[in-house]
Amino acid sequence: MENKKYSSYAEIERDLEILKVEKEIYYQKILLSIDRTKESILPSKSATFIGNLYQKVFSGMYGTILKMIIPYVFNWYLNRKRGN
């Protein structure tokens, strides 16, 4: 990068202002990139719906019963497949 020779303080101030605006543009691009990355990582609305449905099903008395029964059913299924 070559050194630039300035003839007045106004030229220096103008270049500093340009650099400041460029810096802000790059900063906003980074923020936009982060937001897009978050959107791609976060679950979609359908996954959120399934999570809410799961929470509703497994809360309360039915949820307690299901939480007790599911491990037994799972173990029975695994043992049945093995032939035990």
8 Å CB contact between 58 and 67? yes
The amino acid at 1: M
Tokens of 38: 């978050």
In this prediction the pTM is 0.47
> Count of H helices and E strands in the chain?
3, 0
Residue located via tokens 């035990």 = 84
Contact 63, 57 (CB under 8 A): yes
| Inter-residue contact 57 to 66 (CB < 8 Å) | yes
Q: What are the pLDDT digits (tens) for 16-66?
A: 999 999 999 999 999 999 888 887 777 666 677 777 777 777 777 777 887
Of residues 80 and 8, more confidence is placed in: 8
